[in-house]
Structure 1
């Protein structure tokens, strides 16, 4: 089986993202790699989506997820809803409305990947929306602890999970559900393909290894919480994908 141009681009950008994540894990200032890692993640996700949906629909779905995530972040920074009281530092630039642009890009890239997981597991309708929202929120079990330790954002009050409040995860579920609705509306009935499942799986594996063995100090709790949760979603989606 030969790779089409879109899938080939997806594979190349995913491989580049993995290499950059390895480099960041060994770097003294890993936060400097964040924007480029997220950009490569998004490029890979869009490329794999384009292979299934075509470039226009893939870009539209990505753009819809980016705008949804950005709107939620702006409201969150200004009001504390729906995530809780938090603020971004000045490390990530550029920022628009107090929100780093790369944060919105991350919503788009992982939103597409989580949607592919949802399609692989659940039938159409609210079940798919709920599974996709939970799969995307599972990623934040890694994301928030990592970004807080790098000083990219801060919470006004300590929460139960590595200083992160429960309201954050409730907010993620809500916003992620809207992201799933937007992507599903644009993507239609066409399945997004296994490339996006690979993006989700690679993120799960890389983050698990990073927290378990690379970061200083390591964090076995986060490695287990994120690895088991994202791993369960990825394994279920892959199993059902190969059964079809």
Structure 2
């Protein structure tokens, strides 16, 4: 499933118009199924159900609140290109919260055992993704802001309030997800490798796509800096784990 998701994302710059919108919906659904099925297979039905309740249900609730009131992201509205809506929110949007919340949580759990540290790192890991997501989706016309100022340099169509709102809600989301996932979040070993790969691919693929294929160099830079706070340490940690110890890699010296 991870391989199919990667192929779908590679296809994004090669499409346009209605085909690109449909591919976006398919990609989000694949990411959602990947994260939920991983939680189910690696942690069991209780954790998978809790993941859906917290992130999908929470994502729908905060998006509906945002569309209706402008809190916490700022005033925005969705176009009709992403399919059917509920309370002004395309049904696919809450799935995206789950898609990246789970690998962000597992990445943070791999990096620290402290509860507060996990919540903080996971929140940054999830909110950092939005510095890629929002500029890309706004450029496609999937949603727009009523007053996109003040904005980050080079990204004039998305207000800073949106990123702050993402970070605030991500902290709440991860604080709620922690008790659901339990201590086992950092103890699954190689079973979590697909989620680490998903997070690192999302980071590297997004930088490349924005910088080279989508004509969004500023969001490539901002998103690259933000997600690197988690992606960088995660990559280093995984590389160290895979590196063989000297005693394992070299034969023992012959006796004198």
Name the TM-score, length of structure 1 as normaliser. 0.88
Residue 105 of structure 1 corresponds to which residue in structure 2? 95
Per-residue deviation, 1:242: 5.7
| Residue 191 (1) aligns with residue 185 (2) | yes
Count of residues in Structure 1 that have an aligned counterpart in Structure 2: 230
Whole-Å separation in 2 of the counterparts to 1:80 and 1:175: 14
Greater relative contact order structure (CA < 8 Å, 6+ sep): 1
* 1:43 equivalent in structure 2: 33
Q: Does the CA contact (< 8 Å) of 1:62 and 1:112 recur in 2?
A: no
Question: What is residue 31 of structure 1 aligned with on the other side?
Answer: 21
> Is contact 1:142–1:207 with CA below 8 Å preserved after alignment?
yes
**What secondary structure is seen at the aligned counterpart in 2 of 1:178?**
helix
- In the alignment, which residue of structure 2 is the partner of 1:206? 205
Structure 1, unmatched stretches of 5+, are 1-12
Q: 2:9 aligns with which of 11, 17, 21?
A: 21
* 1:46-65 aligned within 5 A: 46-65=36-55
In the aligned structure 2, how far is the partner of 1:100 from the partner of 1:144? 15
In structure 1, the partner of 2:248 is none
- Quote the Cα distance in structure 2 between the aligned partners of 1:197 and 1:183: 18
Who is 2:65 aligned against?
Answer: 75
The offset of 1:107, in angstroms, is 0.5
Shift of 1:231: 3.1
State the partner residue of 1:7: none
Contact 1:138 1:226 in 2 (8 A): yes
Deviation per residue, 1:4-58 (Å, 9 max, x gap): xxxxxxxxx1111111112221112222211100011111112322332124422
Matching residue within 228, 241, 249 for 1:231: 228
Distance 1:38 1:235 in 2: 24
> Highest Rg: 1 or 2?
2
Query: Any stretches of 5+ residues in structure 2 without a counterpart?
Result: 187-191, 242-256
RMSD: 1.7
CA distance in 2: counterparts of 1:144 and 1:108, whole angstroms: 16
Q: Does 1:220 align with 2:210?
A: no
